[in-house]
């Protein structure tokens, strides 16, 4: 069986609702299923808004680079083009593209999700451009 985290969460949510409804009903609740469903929906909403468990860790300079590129509406393909060009020219003043060249999957995941953890501080950054 292949399950997503969302599949497991949905099953857990409905189990919680059923058990909570039974508990409320045994304690004289007026609308046990409705009350329990509200609890389940609240958790589902929080879960949907939560950040992913696996947040990429990138250097602060790389995160700033991502934000600047988004500010000027650049695409991921532009970045990888610059990395390719770096391989030809071998010059890069701040080392960001060299880091990207050696960490392409990590960089792409942070770029696409719009969220990452800063290597130096542990701070989680969620880019305004991806909200």
Q: Which residue has the higher pLDDT, 35 or 8?
A: 8
In angstroms, the CA 19 to CA 28 distance is 14
One domain for residues 117 and 77: yes
Give pLDDT, residue 30: 52
One domain for residues 91 and 63: yes
Helices (H), 4-124: 5-26, 32-49, 60-71, 76-89, 96-102, 104-113
One domain for residues 81 and 40: no
Give pLDDT, residue 110: 94
Instruction: Give the structural domain span for 23.
Output: 5-49
- State the pTM of this model: 0.66
Across all residues in the chain, what is the average pLDDT? 81
Ranked by mean pLDDT, the top range of 5-9, 56-60, 70-74 is 56-60
Number of domains, the chain: 2
One domain for residues 77 and 125: yes
């Amino acid at each position: 069986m292949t399950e997503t985290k969302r599949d497991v969460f949905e099953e857990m949510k409905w189990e919680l609702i059923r058990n909570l409804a039974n508990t409320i009903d045994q304690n004289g609740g007026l609308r046990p299923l409705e009350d329990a469903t509200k609890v389940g929906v609240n958790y589902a909403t929080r879960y949907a808004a939560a950040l992913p468990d696996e947040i990429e860790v990138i250097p602060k300079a790389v995160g700033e680079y991502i934000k600047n590129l988004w500010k000027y509406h650049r695409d991921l393909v532009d970045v990888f083009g610059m990395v390719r060009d770096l391989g030809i020219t071998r010059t890069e003043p701040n080392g960001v593209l060299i880091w990207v060249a050696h960490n392409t999957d990590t960089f792409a995941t942070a770029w696409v999700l719009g969220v990452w953890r800063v290597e130096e501080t542990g701070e989680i950054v969620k880019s305004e451009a991806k909200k």
